[in-house]
């Protein structure tokens, strides 16, 4: 060991300057505030190392950050400029070596030791705010360290051994139960299961996040007043709150739904059903009746005209900013009051027919923002024929006598959601449009089909049931709203590209279109006819359609005629499988003869892993039934629909078709 001469001195702060021999050339300002707070709270715990400088100064060879912290305290007036600083005076010449020795051999204390130290301070009676002030850190940092101090001894030991990262420990701290913490870590079978995000999902699986629609509906304050407990994730960016008493929260939501159901029942509906899941009005395949708008009374009409005139005046005032800030604020408030009153009058003029309300109902659920979502005018399948008869002029008694209730079908197969069916059939429509646009001969037949039906066959029995897949109105049905992620749909992207290519061929000015058309060759015109026909092709099964529309059967006819292959445009990828339930994933595997034990094993996995397993097990050519093209046309569907059409309905159907 080298023998060095040392001497301890108290040197005034204003006599100390950084040494040019200090090896820290690039000094970070980070942590100086915290170090200054610690020096002020705890005093100087470590001497500065100095050597004699020039002009009566002493150069700080080791301890430049402490010198900066003392200077900050002096600047803030917490110490004097000549505050005495304990220094170790060294006489050997190699100051750079001393500076390097101090900086290179020291080691930061481990995170587990730091956590334990904070816990000791807390157990000694210091509140988090006081600890934070003493060390110049935020009280949230202290609270997070104290939260980590409540991890199980096994977790902390593994963290000390370097087996658990700080991010993983923060995720484990979401639970205060040591057994749950140990299970989440030590029972994990894969590295993925130890990912911080997965750990959080595992520990909060039975909890409800604070921004969930149920939590917003009830309100955190009301939930806690009812005795509900919460768990706060101090380590997330938003300090997420989890409601841990799911049964209590569910009961409180059901109570609010029941209160709203009573209000709806008083309106005169035949039935009212609270919908906790929020998808009943889609999944149950309801029909719908709609309100009619009555004529306002003379008094209401006069009020509406006066309010509309006032709204126009206020709107002009706000647009031109004509007035002082106070006047504009008052005008804005009054404008809101006027528009609210106009909406109320409009709603009052809209009413449902009471005989129909007796056979229809309402569903009340919780919207995403926690408000009550009400769907009025829903009609169950078994009541629809009665409602149709009433709409067509029959009395309630006559309508009930004409209708026989069908027995409920026994089908245990879980149906794909109507939203997903709409999206899949929209993607199939885009792909079929591309294929049809390349077959002018079939496109010509598809265009003639609806025109001839309306011109020649409109008086035939069951005319309305022969609805065509091509809807010639000179307009395009936009498929984008039906697809969750339009940019990821290869079929939709291909279709949009084809439309853009066609647009580039045509004159930019619509006034020049006719002259341009009559100069084109027959093949060019047929190609354009194929594109326009494809634009009008509608093979989408909308989510509100209770059964497969007849036009989809006509779309199948076209698909067979053009040898359409959906597998060229659709692939059942991970994004698609994630939208299915595990029961539906099991049905896919069962349809492909995957052994039952492997299917059962898949169903025991978490949803994400079940999707990955299904993707690995299933064949790449799987296609959902709703977008498959049947090998042969289903004539029975057309016959059944035709037989449902009576002579008394022909006039109405013809009018609808003409529209």
Residues 504 and 627 occupy one common structural domain: no
Q: Name the range with the highest mean pLDDT among 12-26, 80-94, 575-589.
A: 575-589
Q: Are residues 266 and 366 in the same domain?
A: yes
Output the six-digit token pair for 609.
Answer: 């892993």
Q: Which residues contact 172 (CB under 8 A, 6 or more apart)?
A: 151, 155, 164, 181, 184, 185, 199, 203
Residues 467 and 533 placed together within one structural domain of the fold: yes
Rg over alpha carbons for the chain, rounded to the nearest Å, is: 38
Most distant CA atoms of the chain, gap in Å: 118
- Assess contact for 447 and 455: CB atoms under 8 A: no
Residues 331 and 455 in one domain: no
pLDDT beyond 70 at 405: no
Q: Is residue 29 part of a domain?
A: yes
pLDDT at 475: 54
Under 8 Å between Cβ of 366 and 349 = no
User: Each residue of 103-130: pLDDT tens digit?
Assistant: 554 556 667 777 777 788 777 787 878 7
| Residue 477 and residue 373 share a domain | no
Average pLDDT over residues 154-180: 84
Tens of pLDDT, residues 282-326: 556 788 888 877 778 888 888 888 998 998 888 888 888 888 888
Residues contacting 122, CB < 8 A, separation 6+: 128, 131, 146, 149
Count of other CB atoms within 10 angstroms of residue 469: 25
- φ/ψ of residue 121, rounded to 5: -60, -40
Task: Give the strands of the sheet with 287-288, arranged side by side.
Answer: 271-275, 361-366, 372-379, 287-288
User: Element (H or E) spanning 163, and its range?
Assistant: none
- Domain boundary at 105, 130, 160, which? 105
Q: Is 392 inside a domain boundary? A: no
- Highest mean pLDDT of the ranges 134-143, 217-226, 239-248: 217-226
Average pLDDT (233-241) is 65
Q: Residue 414 above 60 pLDDT?
A: no
pLDDT at 652 over 60: no
The CA distances from residue 410 to 407, 545, 591, 625, in Å, are 9, 21, 20, 19
Domain final position from 325, 357, 379? 379
**What pLDDT is recorded for position 474?**
53
Three-state helix/strand/coil letters over 374-438: EEEEEECHHHHHHHHHHHCCCCHHHHHHHCCCCCCCCCCCCCCCHHHHHHHHHHHHHHHHHHHHC
pTM over 0.85? The answer is no
The pLDDT of 589-612, averaged and rounded, is 88
Could you tell me if residue 456 is inside a domain?
yes
Kind plus residue range of the DSSP H or E element containing 59: strand 58-62
CATH code of 61's domain = 3.90.1530.30
**Over the stretch 514-554, which tens digit does the pLDDT of each residue have?**
777 777 888 888 888 888 788 778 888 887 776 777 788 88
Distances (CA, A) of 263 to 161, 291, 361, 368, 529: 62, 18, 13, 21, 55
Residue 389 lies in a domain: no
Beta-strand pair 350-351/292-293: antiparallel
Q: Which residue has the higher pLDDT, 259 or 137?
A: 259
Residue 598 located in a structural domain:
yes
Dist CA 290 CA 433 (whole Å): 33
Looking at the fold, whether 542 and 581 belong to one and the same domain comes out as no
The pairing of beta strand 84-90 with beta strand 48-52: parallel
Residues 545 and 595 placed together within one structural domain of the fold = no
Residue 465 near residue 550, CB atoms below 8 Å: yes
Same domain, 542 and 589: no
Nearest to 230 by CA among 208, 201, 205: 208
For 406-417, letters b (16+ CB in 10 Å) and e give: eeeeeeeeeebb
Average the pLDDT over each of 187-191, 402-406, 472-476, 502-506 and give the range with the smallest value. Answer: 402-406
Q: 276-313 as b/e, with b when 16 or more CB fall inside 10 Å? A: eebebbbeeebbebeeeeeebeeeeeeebeebeebbee
The reported pLDDT for the residue numbered 228 is 86
Domain residue limits at 41: 7-105
What percent of the chain clears pLDDT 90, i.e. is strictly above it? 2
pLDDT at 647 over 80: no
N- to C-terminal Cα distance for the chain? Answer: 103
Q: Are residues 584 and 546 in the same domain?
A: no
Asked if 11 and 40 sit in the same domain, the reply is: yes
Helices (runs of H) and strands (runs of E) counted in the chain: 31, 14
Within this chain, do residues 626 and 581 fall inside the same structural domain, yes or no? yes
Q: Which residue has the tokens 């109105």?
A: 473
Is 65 or 132 the better-scoring residue by pLDDT?
Answer: 65
User: pLDDT by residue (tens digit) across 321-342?
Assistant: 888 888 888 888 998 898 888 8
Per-residue DSSP letter, 641 = H
**60 strand-pairing partners:** 18, 50
Please report which residue ranges of 10-106 form alpha helices under DSSP H: 32-42, 64-75, 95-105
What are the tokens at 45? 């715990």
> Scanning the structure block, which residue is given the tokens 């309306």?
454
Lowest-confidence region among 123-132, 236-245, 379-388, 408-417: 408-417
Least confident of 179-188, 443-452, 533-542, 617-626: 443-452
**Residue 448 has what pLDDT?**
59
The pLDDT-based confidence of 409 (bands split at 50, 70, 90) is: very low
What pLDDT shows up at residue 472? 61
Q: Are residues 528 and 604 in the same domain?
A: no
**What is the model's pLDDT at position 283?**
53
* pLDDT value, residue 269: 92
pLDDT tops 80 at residue 143: no
Establish if 259 belongs to a structural domain.
yes
DSSP 8-class letter at 321: T
Is 234 within the bounds of a domain?
no
Using DSSP bridges, classify how beta strands 361-366 and 271-275 pair: parallel, antiparallel or unpaired.
parallel
Q: Look at residue 510 in the predicted model and tell me its pLDDT.
A: 67
Residue from 438, 413, 407, 651 nearest 561 by CA: 438
pLDDT band of residue 52 (cuts 50, 70, 90) is: confident
Q: Which tokens go with 423?
A: 């999206």
Inside any domain, residue 300: yes
* Structural domains in the chain (count): 4
pLDDT confidence of residue 150: 83
- In 3D space, the residue among 63, 89, 114, 69 whose CA is nearest the CA of residue 10 turns out to be 89
Write phi, then psi, for 470 (nearest 5 degrees): -95, 120
SS3 call for 241: strand
**pLDDT above 50 for 638:** no
How far apart are alpha carbons 573 and 592 in whole angstroms?
16
Write the CB contacts of 37 (distance below 8 Å, at least 6 apart in sequence).
133, 134, 135, 136, 137
CB-CB neighbours of 597 under 10 Å: 8
Q: How confident is the model at residue 231 (pLDDT cuts 50, 70, 90)?
A: confident
3-state secondary structure 465-529: HHCCCECCCCCCCCCHHHCCCHHHCHHHHHHHHHHHHHHHHCCCCHHHHHHHHCCCCHHHHHHHH
Average pLDDT value for residue range 563-591:
88
Whole-number pLDDT of residue 650: 33
Last residue of one domain, picked from the residues 519, 537, 568: 568
Query: Directed axis angle between helix 196-203 and helix 178-186, to 10°?
Result: 140
In the predicted model, is pLDDT for residue 404 greater than 80? no
Determine the average pLDDT of the residues in 493-499: 85
pLDDT at 121: 77
- Spatial distance between the Cα atoms of 569 and 431, rounded to a whole number of angstroms: 6
Q: Please provide the average confidence, as pLDDT, over all residues in the chain.
A: 77
CA distances (Å), 55 to each of 15, 18, 180, 304, in order? Answer: 10, 14, 66, 90
């Amino acid at each position: 060991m080298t023998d060095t001469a040392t001497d301890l001195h108290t040197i005034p702060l204003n006599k100390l300057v950084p040494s040019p021999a200090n090896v820290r050339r690039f000094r970070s300002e980070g942590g100086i505030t915290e170090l200054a707070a610690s020096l002020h709270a705890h005093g100087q715990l470590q001497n500065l190392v100095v050597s004699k400088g020039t002009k009566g100064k002493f150069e700080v060879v080791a301890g430049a950050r402490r010198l900066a912290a003392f200077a900050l305290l002096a600047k803030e007036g917490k110490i004097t400029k000549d505050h005495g600083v304990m220094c170790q005076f060294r006489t050997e010449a190699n100051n750079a070596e001393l500076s390097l020795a101090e900086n290179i051999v020291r080691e930061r204390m481990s995170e587990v030791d730091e956590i334990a130290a904070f816990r000791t301070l807390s157990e000694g009676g210091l509140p988090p705010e006081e600890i934070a002030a003493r060390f110049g850190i935020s009280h949230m940092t202290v609270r997070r360290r104290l939260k980590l101090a409540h991890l199980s001894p096994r977790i902390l030991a593994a963290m000390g051994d370097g087996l658990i990262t700080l991010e993983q420990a923060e995720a484990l701290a979401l639970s205060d139960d040591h057994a749950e913490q140990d299970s989440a870590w030590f029972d994990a079978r894969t590295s993925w299961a130890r990912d911080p995000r997965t750990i959080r999902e595992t520990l909060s699986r039975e909890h409800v996040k604070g921004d969930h629609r149920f939590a917003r509906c009830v309100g955190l304050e009301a939930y806690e007043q009812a005795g509900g407990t919460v768990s706060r994730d101090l380590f997330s960016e938003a300090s997420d709150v989890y409601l841990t008493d799911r049964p209590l929260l569910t009961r409180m939501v059901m109570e609010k739904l029941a209160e709203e159901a009573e209000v709806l029942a008083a309106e005169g509906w035949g039935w009212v059903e609270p919908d906790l899941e929020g998808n009943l009005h889609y999944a149950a395949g309801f029909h719908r009746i709609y309100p009619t708008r009555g004529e306002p009374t003379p008094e209401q009409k006069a009020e509406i005209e006066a309010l509309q005139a006032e709204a126009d005046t206020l709107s002009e005032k706000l647009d031109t900013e004509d007035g002082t800030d106070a006047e504009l604020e008052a005008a804005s408030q009054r404008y809101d009051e006027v528009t609210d009153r106009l909406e109320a009058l409009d709603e009052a003029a809209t009413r449902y027919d009471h005989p129909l309300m007796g056979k229809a109902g309402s569903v009340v659920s919780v919207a995403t923002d926690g408000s009550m979502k009400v769907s009025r005018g829903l009609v169950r399948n078994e009541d629809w024929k009665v409602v149709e008869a009433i709409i067509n002029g029959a009395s309630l008694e006559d309508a009930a006598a004409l209708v026989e209730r069908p027995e409920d079908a026994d089908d245990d197969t879980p149906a794909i959601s109507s939203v997903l069916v709409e999206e899949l059939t929209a993607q199939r429509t885009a792909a079929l449009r591309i294929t049809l646009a390349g077959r002018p001969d079939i496109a010509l037949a598809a265009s003639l089909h609806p025109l001839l039906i309306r011109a020649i066959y409109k008086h035939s029995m069951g005319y309305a049931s022969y609805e065509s897949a091509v809807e010639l109105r000179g307009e395009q049905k936009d498929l984008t709203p039906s697809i969750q992620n339009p940019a990821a749909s290869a079929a939709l992207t291909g279709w949009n590209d084809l439309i853009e290519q066609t647009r580039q061929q045509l004159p930019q000015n619509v006034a020049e279109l006719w002259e341009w058309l009559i100069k084109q060759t027959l093949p060019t015109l047929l190609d354009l006819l194929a594109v326009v026909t494809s634009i009008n092709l509608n093979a989408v099964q909308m989510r509100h359609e209770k059964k497969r529309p007849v036009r989809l059967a006509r779309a199948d006819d076209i698909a067979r005629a053009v040898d359409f292959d959906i597998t060229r445009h659709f692939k059942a990828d991970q994004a698609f499988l994630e939208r299915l339930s595990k029961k539906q994933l099991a049905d896919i595997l069962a349809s492909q003869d995957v052994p039952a034990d492997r299917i059962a094993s898949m169903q025991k996995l978490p949803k994400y892993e079940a999707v990955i397993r299904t993707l690995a097990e299933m064949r790449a050519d799987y296609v959902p039934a709703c977008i498959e093209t049947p090998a042969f046309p289903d004539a029975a569907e057309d016959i059944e629909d035709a037989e449902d059409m009576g002579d008394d309905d022909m006039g109405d159907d013809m009018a609808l078709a003409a529209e």
